[in-house]
Structure 1
Amino acid sequence: MGRSFASSGRRSLLRGAAASFGAGILPGALRPALGASPLKPVAEEDALVAFGHTGPITDGGWTTAHDLGVQAVRKAFPKLKTVFVESIPYSADATRIFRQFVAEGAQLVISTSNYGDFIKDVADRAPDVGFLECDGHTVTGNLGWYYITHWYASYIIGIAAGLMTKTNQLGYVGTFPIPSVYASANATLLGAQSVNPACTMRAIAINAWFDPQAATQAASALVDSGCDFLCGITDEPAYLRVAEARGIKAAMWNLGMRQFGPKAYVSSVTLDFSRFYVEQVRARLNGSWRGAPHFLTLSDGVDRDAWGETVPPDIAARADAMRTRILAGYNPFRGPIRDNTGAIRVPEGTVLNDDAIYQWDWGVQGMTGLG
């Protein structure tokens, strides 16, 4: 697993694990550990919770969202101690940092990105310490993972995009060709195509999560090619600034960013880890914590931001009608779904569950630039 991190970085996933994609069957590594006993309780005043971040907490995006969750933990449990390290590399240095957390006495270690074997090796050697890995894939007695089902919010925003575009060309500022990016881009395009079948999407991968210059260049190229609605999955608002300057629309990721382009801003996939982090720390303190997989769901960890000031009310209402359906249990990711070669990947009658979408590694029909 660790081999994928040097090239892709944060939120990278195992490729090729989606042979059971249509059925949505979890690979064994994703299933919860069976028969594991909860870790022993810890008094709040004796507790240390450590957070390992993939970026700086001031990035205004992914890591800032996680840091807001850390702040919620501090508020809920004022007697415990928290420590964190920013910008942990995807290398042996990550193993060293996680080992240091254990050496300092941490009872719970939370990595806000996927560190694969770098964190698993440490967890295997510290069975009395709980480990949580964001966008992870392995579950043992003391190692679990968590992730947000961001694809539903992206689908909802995609409906607005499909109704607002005039050129029927959406632009996507991507990072790496990995499943979390495919899920984001595909969901947005499928949402747009559900109301405007003529929509296509051009994607550019900038090979970074935080590179404002590269994101600006990609966004400008997409607009020059005819895209009049930008979206993406970067950790800062560069492409929103481009949209504002060029008089088009944009949807963002991680947090609400309307202040960087109020006329262009449509919405954002917003993340909130506060409740989840507080629940996990509480479980670790009271002795009920064990390694397990967790999806944070729509309206309970991830959602769309309030609509931008230039989004017509009727368009917002149509998009929100789908949000209401999803909250009631409807899943819009249902076949037939073709890939960008025209081949049917999801047959009619098949619905992609979260486990399957979590492993998406191909672009849907109408997508170019992500493979």
Structure 2
Amino acid sequence: MTMYRPRGRLLTSRRQVLGLAAGTAGGALLRPPPLLAQSPMAGSLRAQPRRLAPIAESDALVAFGHTGPVTDGGWTTAHDRGVRAVRQAFPRLRTVYVESIPYSADATRIFRQFVAEGAQMVIATSNYGDFIRDVSDRAPDVAFMECDGHGVSGNLGWYYITHWYASYVIGIAAGLMTRTNKIGFVGSFPIPSVYAGANAVLLGARSVNPAATLQAISINAWFDPQAATQAGTALAENGCDFLCGIMDEPGYLRVAQQRGIKAAMWNTDMRQYGPDAYVSSVVLDFRAYYVRQVAARLAGTWQAQPHFLTLGHGVDRDSWGRTVPPDIAARADAMRERILAGYNPFRGPIRDAAGRLRVPDGAVMDDDRIYQWDWPVEGVSGLD
């Protein structure tokens, strides 16, 4: 595998997020939903998909554009595992990647470089918007995929993870384990993936503990260990005894370990950095999904489409930490099993932080609506 290093600054801000997680993470699955649930949201945006010619494995080049370093231990590490799975599945195929692609014209230059090098498939592991769309429009015979994208064209599709269900399940554990009723959340930016994560945690917590609240701190970065540690410390000093968030590294988990409180993480299993504090993680695993997409491109059957990767087939909770009481784990997992069987817990009435009714009684927020969540629910502070 070849790595190109882009010129310019390394990225500290990034995508809105995604994944494909280990279906074995903590128990048997009950009638899981389809691996790829097509989103109707982008249906009106979708152009007629182009039929791209098949490619011999020995002639194929697949390029990956990453938003952070592959050694971050979180988001980009999870994607890099997917890249390695592709290499293992197709040993004669070539892969290249670039780390820490900035959200600037440099991104366009790098994606163009992939095409110039002969890549027949380009996968951006974050949302690069017009920076990738401008390139895909000019390379109609190349397949483009954008994680957390929003537009679909003849040769550009997007994919994302329904991480909010795993966050809801972990939120149930948080609601049962907190003694102060204060949950702390370390976020990056006030964007839909962060709102969805924070809101899901608190809604899960309030389903078992109506007194629970969630205080968020945004650090304007996805990978900034110092800032995440400072935010976790501030939340703990404000009385939060359960920390969670949507970071790419374990800064606030270390804070929880030092202070004797609990924490839930994101992206990967990070319990080694705080074994007594670790409750679980929203875990991502892109391996099967990437292998499937590359196989389709080689066969000439790939089509640009919008897809959600679903609970148990793209994202899940990690196995519970060693200090999580079995009865609490069982109560949280009862909801996980209901979701796997088709239940949606995001149902009204749901009010925003100002008390306004946003989801009426009896209404349900589907994945498309959650994917675009841009307001904090009642009880969440620090994001609006």
* TM-score, with length taken from structure 2: 0.90
- Counterpart of 2:227? 214
Taking every aligned residue pair, what percent have the same amino acid on both sides? 74
Please give the alpha-carbon distance, in whole angstroms, between the structure 2 residues aligned to 1:60 and 1:45: 31
- Counterpart of 1:20? none
Please give the alpha-carbon distance, in whole angstroms, between the structure 1 residues aligned to 2:40 and 2:356: 23
- Counterpart of 2:362? 349
- Counterpart of 1:260? 273
Please give the alpha-carbon distance, in whole angstroms, between the structure 1 residues aligned to 2:51 and 2:332: 42
Match of 1:284 among 294, 297, 316: 297
Q: Deviations over 1:93-135 (max 9, x none)?
A: 0000000000000000000000000000000000000000000
Q: Does 1:110 align with 2:123?
A: yes
User: CA, structure 1 residues 30+91, in 2 after alignment: closer, same or farther (shift >3 Å)?
Assistant: farther
Asked if structure 2 preserves the Cα contact closer than 8 Å seen for 1:32 and 1:291, the reply is no
Please give the alpha-carbon distance, in whole angstroms, between the structure 1 residues aligned to 2:45 and 2:244: 34
Q: Deviations over 1:236-294 (max 9, x none)?
A: 00000000000000000000100000000000000010111001000100011111011
Please give the alpha-carbon distance, in whole angstroms, between the structure 1 residues aligned to 2:361 and 2:55: 50
Please give the alpha-carbon distance, in whole angstroms, between the structure 2 residues aligned to 1:30 and 1:262: 44
Q: Does 1:160 align with 2:173?
A: yes
Q: Does 1:41 align with 2:54?
A: yes
Give how far 1:192 is off.
0.2
Matches within 5 A, 1:1-371: 9-11=14-16, 29=42, 31=44, 33-371=46-384
User: CA, structure 1 residues 125+269, in 2 after alignment: closer, same or farther (shift >3 Å)?
Assistant: same
Q: What is the CA RMSD across the aligned residues, in angstroms? A: 1.4
3-state DSSP class of the match of 1:152?
helix
Please give the alpha-carbon distance, in whole angstroms, between the structure 1 residues aligned to 2:177 and 2:298: 49
Please give the alpha-carbon distance, in whole angstroms, between the structure 2 residues aligned to 1:59 and 1:65: 9
Please give the alpha-carbon distance, in whole angstroms, between the structure 1 residues aligned to 2:244 and 2:43: 30
Q: What amino acid maps onto 2:16 in structure 1?
A: R
Asked if structure 1 preserves the Cα contact closer than 8 Å seen for 2:265 and 2:282, the reply is yes
Q: What amino acid maps onto 1:326 in structure 2?
A: I
Give how far 1:7 is off.
11
3-state DSSP class of the match of 1:45?
helix
Please give the alpha-carbon distance, in whole angstroms, between the structure 1 residues aligned to 2:136 and 2:47: 17
Q: What amino acid maps onto 2:194 in structure 1?
A: V
Give how far 1:37 is off.
3.3
Please give the alpha-carbon distance, in whole angstroms, between the structure 2 residues aligned to 1:7 and 1:208: 5
Please give the alpha-carbon distance, in whole angstroms, between the structure 2 residues aligned to 1:7 and 1:309: 32
Give how far 1:204 is off.
0.2
Give how far 1:10 is off.
1.8
3-state DSSP class of the match of 1:195?
coil
3-state DSSP class of the match of 1:251?
strand
Please give the alpha-carbon distance, in whole angstroms, between the structure 2 residues aligned to 1:223 and 1:356: 32
Q: What amino acid maps onto 2:111 in structure 1?
A: F
Moved over 6 A (4+): none
Please give the alpha-carbon distance, in whole angstroms, between the structure 1 residues aligned to 2:224 and 2:87: 31
Give how far 1:34 is off.
4.9
Please give the alpha-carbon distance, in whole angstroms, between the structure 2 residues aligned to 1:272 and 1:228: 29
Please give the alpha-carbon distance, in whole angstroms, between the structure 2 residues aligned to 1:216 and 1:329: 37
Please give the alpha-carbon distance, in whole angstroms, between the structure 2 residues aligned to 1:31 and 1:157: 34
- Counterpart of 2:27? none
Q: What amino acid maps onto 1:227 in structure 2?
A: C
